[in-house]
Structure 1
Amino acid sequence: MSGVVAAMRRNLLSCTSLARHGLLALAAALSAASEPAFAGDLTVEQAISVWFNFNHQEVAVLTTALALVGFSVVAAILLMHTRVRATRTELGLRANIAGLQDQADRLRALLFAEPQILIAWAAGENRPQISGDTSLLISPDAAQNSPQRILAFGTWLPPEPALQMDHAVDALREAGEGFLLNLSTSNGRAIEAMGRAIGGQAIVRIRELGGLRRELAESNLRYKTLQEETELLRDFAAAAPWPIWAKSTEGNLRYANTAYVRATEGASVADAIQRNLELLETEQRSDMSRTLNGNSTFNARLPIVVGGERRIYDVQAVKLAGGSAGIAIDASEATSLRAAMDRMAEAHRRTLDQLSSGVAVFDGQRRLAFYNESYRRLWGLDQAFLDANPDDSSVLDRLRAARKLPEQPDFRAWKAKLHEAYRAVEPETYTWFLPDGRAVSVVTTPNLEGGVTYLFDNVTESLDLARRFDRLTRVQHETLDNLVEAVAVFGSNGRVELFNPAFAKMWKLSAESLKEQPHIETVEAWCKPLFDDLVAWRTLREAITAIDNRAQVALKLERKDGSVLDCMTMPLPDGATMLTFQDISDTENVERALRERNEALEAADQMKVDFVHHVSYELRAPLTTIIGFAHFLSDPSTGPLTAKQAEYLDYVTKSTNALLALTNNILDLATIDAGAMKLELGPVNIEKAIRDAAEGIQDRLATDRIELKVDIDPSIGVFIGDERRVVQVLYNLLANAVGFSPHDAAVTISAQRSEHRVTFTVTDSGPGIPPDVKDKVFDWFESHSNGSRHRGAGLGLSLVRSFVELHGGKVRVDSAVGQGTAVSCDFPIDQNAHRNAAE
């Protein structure tokens, strides 16, 4: 039994040994097939031969053994094979990554070899990746703390380039539109910004231009600017209404605008150039060529036939490097005007020759340019001397040598003062008392084109008459001043010419106010507090202002203070009227005087209506007729007027205009007081209203040398109101301010707008309003002459308050004696809202 077991053990060991050798052979064969390097010295053929050298018995035993380890061996081999390949692949990838990293480092070094910035936006991301030297555009501290500040283009670019950059980046990110911009930073650096869409990313590269690239960019900018300027000049030349052309050195037409084509009757610009159409005639072109060949600019006024009509043109041409260029400007109208001016000047010369006043005109070089015969006879100068055009100083020296000038202790200083007229703006008037007893009135008037016009009048007789008249007037004044009766003399124009102290005292009037020569209607207004009988005053007005049927009028006046006056009007030979009052109160019954006074008070309202009715229908219509005939007489078509006639006609026009304005003011106040005034509401342009009001006082501003200052915001806009009445309010305020302002002062008008109202303020630097008068300045017929040069009827400020309150506004007066006056008017912005609130 033990022998059998031993035999089986030997067989098993043999099988094991065979299996080991078989496995080694199989492994060698498999390894040789897959990895020859792991087969040692055994080749594939040898391994296979070893494998097949086993006899069939050994194979059978081996098959049994292999069944135990087959799957394990195969699995081990496959696992080993996979691990080896993975190891080799990993080693290859590591080598490739290292190579790519080296290549990327080389490319990055090459990319940032010059200063530049890369900004990359990945698809769908808003925050970009920023690379490069951001301190190129922003400060190093800001670049280190927040590179994203580079995206705030406005911090390192001017406004317009920053906006251009924003738009270009937005178009790149949204639509992939590339761009290339050459820009200048705020600190003056020239940069290039390029944007491209690459690999699904929006990339912007910014780099500083230097060297050739910078010069190229600047050249491109200059080229673009020159191109734009060239296009602009071409468009201007094409649209210009004057013929413009350019020619080559050979004289061929190279350029022509539309006006040139029309003037030469060409079909088009190309047709004019092709046919070489000429604007000038042959002789004119020859003159131009000779001038240009002499390197001079050609400038001449030439007749040119255009459209079958001969017209005058100012032709200018210049020589250029490649030829010449010219332009022709129509001067026909200027030529006609100059000829008309020459004819007018000649007519003026003939007119001046007929004047009795001596006229001498000296030009800008102070040489005698014109004189009339009256001038020569007045001074007894030799005609040959005057025709030689002597200068002003020579004429004065000759007159002084002949003792025909006023004796002066310092003749040089006197002459220098007289010659200040050459630098003056306004005319000056002098009176020269000559050694021969004559008196000459001298008026020096500066000419607009330079020089001075002297006007001489012999006023010897006039001054003598004036002296005699003055003596007579003083006698009359002394006589009137010592009369017990109140006496006032009204001229033919209805204004006070003379009065005695008894007249001012009887009617409690200011002597200073009466010296301003007020009209009878103004005097009536002042006297109404004592006597307001409309019929009596109308009778007195008609007696004073009547032209025909002038007769004496006797009235008995019972005044409100209980006094009774005998009144008498006496027509005087010179057209004036003497009005006398005598107090006869002691002879009248006091009780009757009081009763009549009460009746007068009860009839006050009816008197106002009758007065306005009379002014409207009895005074306004004749005034309109007088004004119409005055304008008709002043029209040159009716015939020439003498100087005195023109002067009298001017007095008539001014007086009737003043009376008509006063009548209109009274009518407006009466209409407002009666509640019949209706506003014509609409949008009121504040700036235009101020301008229209200021236009009405321009003559007074110039006369009184007052400066008008306007302080408004140009965008102040409009408000709802009656534009005509607003302008009337502003005009009255300005007229009042100018009247109380001293010479060379300033009047300011301002307008301010708030949420609910518009406030107009007129400020002057006049004497101010005393506190006791301040409450009366807006009353009817209240007129205070304290510091005023223009005496009025006292209705302007009354109209101001009435019109402003009719709009629903208010008027304020801020004034102190000696510190000027400021009048403010508040107008509601919306009249509809104001009326609704009032209701």
Structure 2
Amino acid sequence: MSDSWMLALIIAATSVGSSWVALLLISLRRDRAEVPLRATAAQPALEQAVFLFNNELLVDATQPARALLDAAPMGDSDWARLSAFLAPRFEGFGAALSGLAEGGRVELAARPRADGEACLRLLAEDLGGLARLTLIDPEAEGSGVLVDGLSQRALEDEVEQLRAVADRAPMLAWRENAAGGVIWANRGYMLRTDALAAEDGALVWPLPRLFEAMAAGAPRRHCLGANSDRPAWFDLHAVPMDEGALCFALPADAAVRAERALRDFVQTLTKTFADLPIGLAIFDRQRQLQLFNPALIDLTQLGAEFLSARPTLYAMLDRLREARMMPEPKDYRSWRQQMTALEQAAAAGHHAETWELPGGQTYRVTGRPHPDGAVAFLFEDISSEVSLTRRFRAELELGQEVLDAIDEAVAVFLPSGELATSNAAYARLWGVDPAATLGRVTLLDSVRLWQAQVQPSPIWSAVRAFGSQIDARAAWAAEVRLLDGQRLGCRFVPLAAGAMLAGFRRARASVEATALPRPVHAPATRHDAVATVTPAAG
């Protein structure tokens, strides 16, 4: 009996345990089956971008389609904006859509991408006069991705900002495909090409080309409207990208005008330098000849071929030394040191030297510093000037010797009253050599000197008045006595341009008295000195 109850309990316990195990397995399977269902519910199917057009008028569009139009490039109509987005991506877009009414259905695939990912597909259908365009993205087909609203707003703001920057940039920007076609451009480029000036307001596609197909490399300059009244210059730059290049055209009108003005200025200077009789040689900071004029060839006897090869400063000086067109040095080392000192002095500031050439010519060599370390040398033939100066100096020396050989003490005063010259007899008579005196010696100073060494006489006021007169004057003479009682004959002669000559000679015989020259009058009652005035001889 007990065995029967024991067996019944075992059977009951086994049944309950089996039921629990079965329920647990069913629960696990149900949980696994609900996971993909919940995942699918969390990622609903993405709504396709569908456009419905009546000719070029947008009748209706899905929400993704309207978002796409908002992000599409500029255009005056919805069809123009959509065409600007689709035409660069689908080859033959315009031709295919023009035959939609006849075929009823057109399907296009976008150009393959370089990374090998799936391309966009465009399905166009004719629905009784209406065109339905469906843009299919294979990567998002069948499911969508939920994006946080703030992140989406941030992306849209960034895109809008980048579009504003590109459209308002003070340059032309565009993108070319591998075939050289323009597939994108900023607003400046489109306005320049009149791509937005169509009569129906649609965007002209394909975009007109302003410049030749760009290739990555060094920038180049191009002119638009070279034959027009207002040509426009641009510096073109190209940045290589996948399947094409991103190109920029920077306005260069100001640079071209500056370069033209500089070129005209240099040509003007070149013409001016060509007519100068002074030889000009300009060396850059590496002391290489950059500019010279024809006078340098004539003065230095250096060939035009040699100078056109742009020799260095020392090569040019070596050639001048070989041609005996510079002073002959005692030895080559001292000459090199002298030329180094010349170059350093010219680079530091204004420097001038006089070269006495073996052929008898005299050159003045002037060095002047220029910006950026350049140095200019001027070669001037001053042989005539030196010869004239020497001849003039010789004449002055000869005239001075003639004056010194005269027994009469002679002094010449300028119209300003300054002593111009005197002879040796004047220095012996008055005990003063004006040539050895520092500073100016005037007529008043001389009269004081004369008065101090003679007895009182009324003629000195007349002498001062005679020296200051500028109208017609007549020569006159007088006699005074030195302090030792010896008589001294004086004569005063007007010279050209208001100058005056004063001559003094010790008297050996009496001189007949005459009246003093007007306007000076000697006092009639003076007995302390004898003043005898006679007409000047000759």
TM over 0.5: no
Greater percentage in helix: 1
Higher RCO (Cα < 8 Å, 6 or more apart)? 2
TM value normalised by structure 1: 0.30
